[in-house]
């Protein structure tokens, strides 16, 4: 896996993924998310992917999955994440709560590389879910 990040002036950078997609990063929040916001977005994408795939393999009729992520950061530099909470809002037909709970747990404990990496770095990550 690769990426390229190029400075575009001021506090803006253009990031290009190895697969060819561009993301504008902007510490001033005028043209893109801040770098640490991208970390949260990456975590959300990684764990949401897992939850949806696990539910589909469990033959659940999932029609939507949203991860709402909140975080706390250290007060001093480096302002690393200290706590992250991921709340899943899962929609579908006749979803079984036990299977949704299992999917969230499997993602957190076994499959989501981003989550596991952050936890090993000392970040406390918690999860919750609701079914709509």
**How far is Cα of residue 25 from the mean position of the Cα atoms in its chain?**
17
Q: Spell out the per-residue pLDDT of the chain, length 132, in tens.
A: 999 999 999 999 999 999 999 999 998 888 899 999 999 999 999 999 999 999 999 999 999 999 999 999 999 999 999 999 999 999 999 999 999 999 999 999 999 999 999 999 999 999 999 999
Q: Which residue has the tokens 């952050």?
A: 118
Give residue 46's pLDDT. 98
How far separated are the first and last CA of the chain, in Å rounded?
36
Give residue 30's pLDDT. 85
CA distances from 28 to 1, 33, 120 (A): 28, 9, 30
Give residue 29's pLDDT. 80
**How far is Cα of residue 118 from the mean position of the Cα atoms in its chain?**
11
Which of 84, 90, 42, 89 is CA-nearest to residue 62? 90
Give residue 20's pLDDT. 97
Give all domains of the chain, ordered by start, each with its CATH number: 1-33 (2.20.25), 35-131 (3.30.300.20)
Handedness of CA 117, 118, 124, 126 (dihedral sign): negative
């Amino acid at each position: 896996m690769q990426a390229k990040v190029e400075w575009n002036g001021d506090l803006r950078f253009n990031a290009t993924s190895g697969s060819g997609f561009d993301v504008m990063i902007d510490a001033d929040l005028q043209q893109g998310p801040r770098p640490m916001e991208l970390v949260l977005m990456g975590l959300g994408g990684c764990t949401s992917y897992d939850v949806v795939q696990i539910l589909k393999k469990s033959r659940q009729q999932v029609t939507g999955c949203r991860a709402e992520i909140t975080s706390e950061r250290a007060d001093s530099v480096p302002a690393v994440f200290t706590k992250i909470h991921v709340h899943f809002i899962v929609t579908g037909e006749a979803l079984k709560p036990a299977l949704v709970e299992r999917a969230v747990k499997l993602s957190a404990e076994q499959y989501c590389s981003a989550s596991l990496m952050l936890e090993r770095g000392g970040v406390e990550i918690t999860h919750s879910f609701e079914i709509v």
